[in-house]
Amino acid sequence: MQVSRRQFFKICAAGVSSSSLAVMGFSPGTALAEAREFKLSRATETRNTCPYCSVGCGILMYSLGDTSKNAKSEIIHIEGDPDHPVNRGTLCPKGAGLLDFIHSPNRLKYPEVREAGSNEWKRISWDAALTRIARHMKADRDKNFVARTDDGLTVNRWLTTGFLAASAASNESGYLTHKVVRNLGILAVDNQARV
């Protein structure tokens, strides 16, 4: 079927999205004068997985920036991955808002501390934050670690600090988290599967 560029836009205006028409093979003929390119055609496409529920929908993220070292990428559009066997290009109302999660004004940008009794956050460096936390941990662990019980059982556990692990983190982060917390002797470990 031959469709001119003008007819093509008319069909689109009738309420069908241009992308689905294109999928069906109704691409318009080449235009002699282009107004402008689709933004996405110059964007970088990156494949990812929706971080919300566990359907595991494939998504395509489009970012501006050519991925060179000094060019800062910014994600400008996200849509379902049409090749994905489960979601086949669709996204639900949750996933359709992913761009606004990435760019939420409530994204945290810097390590902060709220001192005891204070009513405000104070920005600190990563090194200061991690060192202070590690100091807290060591002090608590050294004081409360149970190597042996009173009746002589070897237990090597640390019960006064606990850890909740993130069910939206990758397997690789989750595994490293497990490796660290268990080897400190922590037993109060859980992830969202508990609730």
Partner 1 sequence: MTNHWVDIKNANVIVIMGGNAAEAHPCGFKWVTEAKAHNKARLIVVDPRFTRSAAVSDYYAPIRSGSDIAFLGGMINYLLTHDKIQHEYVKKYSDATFLVHGDYDFGDGLFSGYDEETRSYDKTSWSYQKGADGFVLADETLQNPRCVFNLMKQHYSRYTPEMVSRITGTPKEQFLHVCEMIAETAAPNKTTTFLYALGWTQHSIGSQNIRTMAMIQILLGNMGMAGGGINALRGHSNIQGLTDLGLLSNTLPGYMTLAGEKEQDFGTFLASRALKPLRPGQMSYWQNYPKFHISLMKSWYGDAATRENNWCYDWLPKLDKVYDVLQVFEMMHQGKMNGYFAQGFNPLASFPNKAKIGAALARLKYLVVIDPLATETSEFWKNFGEFNDVDPSGIQTEVFRLPSTCFAEEEGSLVSSSRVMQWHYKGADAPGEARNDAEIMAGLFLRLREMYKQEGGAFPDAILNTAWPYRIPDNPSPEELAKELNGKALTDLLDPKDPARVLVKAGEQLASFAQLRDDGSTASGCWIFSGAWSQAGNLMERRDNSDPSGLGNTLNWAYAWPANRRIIYNRASCDPSGKPWDPKRKVVGWDGSKWAGNDIPDFSLDSPPEAGMGPFIMNPEGVARLFAVDKMAEGPFPEHYEPFETPIDTNPLHPRVVSNPAARVFKGDMEAFGKAAEFPYVGTTYRLTEHFHYWTKHAKLNAILQPEQFVEIGEDLAKAKGISAGDRIKVSSNRGHIVAVAVVTKRIRMLDVDGRKVHTVGIPIHWGFKGVAKNGYLANTLTPFVGDANTQTPEFKSFLVNIEKA
C-beta neighbour count of 158 within 10 angstroms: 21
Quote the least distance from Cβ 23 to partner 1, whole Å.
16
How far, CA to CA in Å, does 28 sit from each of 35, 38, 42, 67?
A: 14, 14, 20, 31
- Least CB distance from residue 25 to partner 1, whole Å? 20
Taking the CA atoms of the chain, what radius of gyration do you get in angstroms?
26
Residue 10 or 103: the one with the smaller Cβ distance to partner 1 is: 103
- In whole angstroms, the minimum distance from the beta carbon of 16 to partner 1 comes to 20
Q: In terms of CB distance, is 12 or 65 closer to partner 1?
A: 65
Nearer to partner 1, 26 or 145 (CB): 145
CA dihedral 32, 33, 38, 42 (to 10 degrees): 80
C-alpha 23: how far from its chain's center? 29
Strand partners, 129: none
Residue closer to partner 1 (CB basis): 27 or 125: 125
CB of 79 to partner 1, least distance (A): 13
Question: Three-state SS for 127?
Answer: helix
Are 144 and 159 in contact by the 8 Å Cβ rule? The answer is yes
